[in-house]
Homo-oligomer: A and B are copies of this chain.
């Protein structure tokens, strides 16, 4: 049986556009001789649709679109993802569903059983789980069709089973001969290797091949990496679609050895490619084609600029140096060198005059108090005003350049350097930013990011001779503690027991906890780890805790 895997990049909510894209791929798959084409989870509406699901007309339009798509299924069958009304009198009103379309009709509908409700996933907010599973007969073969999380209840690999059902086991027991999983599985670092292990384990456990069809593209903070696969009944990858790009992958299930196996980039390269895709799609899907960002001469803005140039082309990127009275000579020369190396537009706007005017007008109100962080923040906020003015005037998206380590400890200014629509590297720890800079230079084979930017001590340059390490431990140490506190959810005691200095641990934890209010108002940030700040991490603000 020849199956086409339609790894597509939908726009959330764009039912008309997504429907058109699905119909196009049905034609292409038919021309390629496929008898079945499979689409990602909720492909008609794009994943995640969030509270658009609460709009009755939106659901109605998606049901009509699914019918229209079915009408195009002539000489080929298709499995598409859509939202179906729950026809039972009780329970939530909607189901996360797939339609099996054949001969111009929706012949079968199946529902997602396991509804992820953790991290960035909120599916129990919207959906009623499927009442049970059963196979679908296609050309004499029983297909066991499931949706994304349905395949992720493997206690041997995942640990505790949070669901009471095992839809894959049930499909296997019911006689399915081929498992098909329609997914929207977002990227995070090293997740793809885990997927291969997990799916391989499921395939070999049930002695059944698995076809995994993933969404690709950036939707808000989530980046879907594609890399759809066929796994054979022995658990081996026998076909794999492109990572971070659309693809139509054809597999002959009886003779899969002829299929393409596209390479998946290694860890650092996947991080780079994910961020590039995230910037490209957020920018385009918000209707922009140009971005602007501040260039401090430091490594964070340099890496962000390089990612933006890779995403949009250098001609669509403007970097702005905004030196203050405390800026070093190299802050501007390094920024300028970076802009030249990347070929992006470059502007310089000194902030001294604005800074002095604010100081003068605030002086009578500051009652002779000593300078403190207030004065540092004013500089950062003047830069925010300037960048937003350029963004407004020229209709370009402002990118914010802070890294995850800074955002964790609140080493950033709200309404200052935190201004922007998209935080490109806010889920990348500072120590990884350095690796990413080296990767970018080695990939291009020349010094794109100036050597001095990589080697000089990091500094916010908001007071004379300041460096980040005046206020913070070394980034190696900071990132190690943050990983334990934020990713592993360890307590202070446990982190100290792991060998860290108690005073430093207490300080870092206090900084993290008291910065929740800043993160509440942070720009949307691209998620590349399993525990990112943002939608998937929901902390109270007016709270008191020490654990």
Contact = CB atoms under 8 A, between A and B. Distances in A.
Interface of A: 11-15, 17, 46, 48-52, 54-58, 61, 89-93, 117-118, 122, 124-125, 160-164, 218-220, 281-282, 285-286, 347, 349-350, 353-354, 357-358, 360-362, 365-366, 369, 372-374, 377-378, 381-382, 384-386, 388-390, 392-393, 414-415, 419, 421, 489, 491, 493-494, 517, 520-524, 535, 537-545, 547
A321 to B, nearest CB: 12
A217 to B, nearest CB: 10
A211 to B, nearest CB: 28
Nearest to A540: B12
A285 B419 CA distance: 27
A61 B544 CA distance: 13
B220 A541 contact: yes
A414 B15 CA distance: 30
A165 to B, nearest CB: 10
A353 B360 contact: yes
A125 B354 CA distance: 47
Nearest to A119: B125
Contacts of A372: 392-393
Nearest to A116: B125
A11 B365 contact: no
Contacts of A353: 357, 360-361
Contacts of A540: 12-13, 48-50, 52, 219-220
Contact of A517 (B46, B218, B362, B421): B421
A15 to B, nearest CB: 8
B369 A393 contact: yes
Contacts of A124: 117, 124-125
B521 A523 contact: yes
17 contacts: A12-B540, A14-B544, A17-B544, A50-B540, A51-B538, A52-B547, A57-B494, A57-B547, A61-B547, A220-B540, A285-B544, A357-B357, A358-B385, A372-B392, A374-B393, A385-B415, A520-B524
A523 B56 CA distance: 29
A491 to B, nearest CB: 4
Contact of A382 (B46, B117, B125, B385): B385
B164 A542 contact: no
B386 A362 contact: yes
A55 B489 contact: yes
B378 A393 contact: no
A286 to B, nearest CB: 5
- Which are the 4 A-B pairs with shortest beta-carbon distances? A13-B545, A285-B542, A57-B491, A374-B392
Given A56-B491, A520-B524, A535-B538, 16 more contacts: A11-B543, A15-B545, A54-B489, A55-B491, A57-B491, A89-B160, A117-B124, A219-B543, A281-B542, A362-B393, A369-B393, A372-B393, A378-B385, A381-B385, A382-B385, A385-B415
A491 B350 CA distance: 48
Contacts of A49: 540, 543
Interface centre among A218, A392, A524, A543 (most CB of B within 10 A): A543
B544 A11 contact: yes
A39 B452 CA distance: 61
A539 B50 CA distance: 6
B388 A377 contact: yes
A285 B491 contact: no
B389 A358 contact: yes
| A353, A377, A521 — most chain B CB neighbours (10 Å) | A521
A388 B393 contact: no
A545 B362 CA distance: 46
Given A382-B385, A489-B54, A544-B11, A392 B377 contact: yes
Given A491-B57, A538-B51, A389 B377 contact: yes
A339 to B, nearest CB: 15
Contacts of A419: 414-415
Contacts of A524: 517, 520, 541
A410 to B, nearest CB: 13
Contact of A388 (B11, B61, B381): B381
A537 B161 CA distance: 30
B542 A12 contact: yes
